[in-house]
């Protein structure tokens, strides 16, 4: 009887969306998933920030790659401030497809003020047809109460929520993870064209484990991350040579 009561209470405390699916979203890279406790926590808020505004495209690409892994058949909602869309532009169909995302599943919402951004994110998270919500904000701190409400809304639905920021934030947050992303040089393909996008990612906040840093590459059309290893040629060790006498 006591064990049954404990199991019942555990089911009540577990977010609805998480109970219907896996509690974590594996990134497919063992080194990363182990640090994250199995993957990116579903039903939670995550923060991804560019190392500086010059690296915002890289942070955006990393966020889109996560969205591609998370959404499946559900929709992606992208909410941004008017000024953000003016300065950075709107997502392009070809760019979305490069990350394995269907443009027809994207919903873009423009808002005028910061408080409208978090309010719109909260409403999107409560929609069962939505699998991933991105809120793109420029510089400045976010209201801590609004961020807390986003975490609770994500927990209720089981969806992934992501705050995409142009610079590393200094404010406190209830987010499950906080990432700082910068661009990294891609490998040159045989036809001398640009290679797959690479991201230098720094996990600076991790509720379920330590901080860490990796160099990740997004492979298309496989739609997966791979851990980039050092591929530069290394000189072979000198072979043993018998001592030569000097004449």
* 83: its two tokens: 């000024």
Averaged over 182-196, what is the pLDDT? Answer: 76
Q: Which residue has the higher pLDDT, 43 or 87?
A: 43
Computed over every residue of the chain, the mean pLDDT equals 83
Evaluate whether residue 203 is within a structural domain: yes
What pLDDT is recorded for position 4? 53
Q: How many domains does the chain have?
A: 1
Lowest mean pLDDT among 7-16, 52-61, 171-180, 222-231: 7-16
- Global pTM reads 0.81
Residue 69 and residue 27 in contact, taking contact as beta carbons nearer than 8 Å: yes
What pLDDT is recorded for position 202? 97
pLDDT tens for each residue of 107-156? 999 999 889 999 999 999 999 899 999 999 887 788 899 999 999 999 99
| In the chain, % of residues over pLDDT 90 | 57
- CATH number of the domain enclosing 108: 3.40.50.300
Query: CA angle, 108 as apex, 216 and 219 as ends, to 5°?
Result: 20
* 56: its two tokens: 């915002």
Averaged over 52-67, what is the pLDDT? Answer: 94
Residue-range definition of the domain harbouring residue 187: 34-227
Contacts of 217 (CB under 8 A, 6+ apart): 186, 187, 196, 197, 198, 199, 225, 226, 227, 228
Other Cβ atoms less than 10 A from the Cβ of 28: the count is 17
Evaluate whether residue 54 is within a structural domain: yes
Evaluate whether residue 10 is within a structural domain: no
Evaluate whether residue 4 is within a structural domain: no
Question: Is residue 196 classed exposed, middle or buried when 0-12, 13-18 and 19+ CB atoms within 10 A define those classes?
Answer: middle
Evaluate whether residue 195 is within a structural domain: yes
Evaluate whether residue 85 is within a structural domain: yes
Evaluate whether residue 167 is within a structural domain: yes
- Which strands form 212-219's sheet, in the order they lie side by side? 106-111, 75-81, 130-137, 160-165, 44-50, 177-184, 198-206, 212-219, 224-227
Check pLDDT > 90 for residue 33.
Answer: yes
């Amino acid at each position: 009887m006591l064990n049954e009561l404990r199991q019942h209470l555990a089911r009540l405390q577990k977010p609805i969306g998480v109970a219907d699916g896996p509690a974590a979203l594996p990134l497919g890279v063992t080194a990363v998933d182990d640090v994250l406790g199995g993957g990116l926590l579903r039903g939670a808020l995550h923060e991804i920030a560019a190392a500086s505004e010059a690296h915002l495209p890289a942070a955006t690409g990393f966020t889109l790659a996560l969205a591609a892994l998370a959404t499946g058949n559900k929709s992606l909602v992208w909410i941004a401030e008017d000024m953000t869309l003016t300065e950075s532009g709107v997502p392009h169909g070809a760019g979305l497809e490069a990350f394995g995302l269907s443009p027809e599943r994207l919903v873009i919402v423009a808002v005028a003020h910061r408080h409208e951004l978090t309010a719109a994110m909260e409403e999107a998270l409560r929609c069962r047809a939505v699998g991933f919500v991105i809120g793109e904000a420029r510089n400045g701190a976010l209201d801590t109460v609004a961020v807390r409400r986003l975490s609770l809304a994500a927990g209720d639905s089981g969806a992934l929520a992501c705050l995409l920021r142009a610079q590393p934030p200094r404010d406190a947050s209830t987010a499950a993870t906080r990432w700082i992303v910068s661009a990294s040089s891609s490998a040159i393909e045989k036809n001398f064209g640009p290679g797959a996008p690479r991201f230098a990612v720094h996990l600076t906040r991790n509720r379920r484990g330590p901080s860490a840093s990796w160099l990740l590459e997004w492979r298309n059309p496989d739609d997966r991350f791979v851990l980039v290893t050092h591929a530069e040629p290394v000189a072979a060790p000198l072979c043993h040579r018998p001592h030569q006498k000097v004449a």
